[in-house]
Homo-oligomer: A and B are copies of this chain.
């Protein structure tokens, strides 16, 4: 049997030389002030085992990891219709690229670039009575943690400096791919990015994706088998901005990263694992986080490939 705890400890030790090699996200004060030395990993297996190490219980800003939650909600609600408004292909360029958007006439290339996530948020606003509350409740349900909250300071800071996202949503609107008022889309979007969760909570929250769409703790089905498979595929090909290929190559698990320094990955039918380390590489992914997951698949011999 795999000695996960031992492996997590060896990983913590071996990523130490990477501290100082990346940069904490600095575009808003709340992220800028994060301690760059924070490091945590949490692992949850479908068999019910839990392992963790370091700062695994400390909450941080999940940022783009939230795109998995909103995509799940939208996909469950509107099904394959969703792909008429957002594509499924890797972007081949940076996560906030206007270029790709313009060439493709306002249809974002995939739901994990910012433009795509804004369209997904717009879909939620169309279908939900109280989008901000409903998103929060969804995340509480899948994780089983009832006090998960938005960090309202972060949401406000994002709004005040969010010129690129404001540009994107206006451009999408000019192409008819945003239905709701721009201010509302941005408000919901910046809140979802400001959800605070720990590695433990994230690993628990992602278990439905390892479990073919069903929350293991409650048996509630969130996505069909096929939809869960498909969502994992989207994470595999598009989950790491323009580093998706390298992440698949080095790590070999579907997952999603955020500029808060978090990454969550799953191995279907087996486990979910979340890591947090705030220093980012040039492409916006956690330096030590990516390495930790690479070491994890190498040392356990587990990956999807």
Residues on B with C-beta less than 8 A from A97 are 102
A245 to B90, CA, bound (A): 6
Say whether A244 contacts B90, CB under 8 Å: yes
* Cβ of A204 under 8 Å from chain B: no
In the complex, the count of this chain's copies comes to 4
In the complex, A234 Cα to B248 Cα: how many Å? 7
- A243, closest chain B residue (CB): B89
Closest to A230 in B: B249
Task: Give the size of the chain A interface in residues (CB under 8 angstroms).
Answer: 54
On whether A101 and B98 interact (CB within 8 A), knowing A90-B92, A163-B171, A245-B238, the answer reads: yes
A243: chain B residues within 8 A (beta carbon): 89
Within A138-183, the residues touching B (CB, 8 Å) are 163-164, 166-168, 170-171, 173-174, 182
- In the complex, the answer to whether B103 meets A99 with C-beta atoms within 8 Å is yes
Q: Which of A109, A234, A250, A303 has the most CB of B within 10 A?
A: A303
A100 to B248 alpha-carbon distance, docked (Å) = 21
The 7 closest A-B pairs by CB, nearest first: A92-B92, A90-B90, A163-B174, A167-B170, A89-B245, A232-B305, A167-B171
**Residue contacts A-B, CB under 8 angstroms, 15 given:** A89-B243, A89-B245, A90-B90, A98-B101, A98-B171, A163-B170, A164-B170, A167-B171, A230-B252, A232-B252, A233-B248, A233-B252, A236-B236, A236-B305, A254-B305
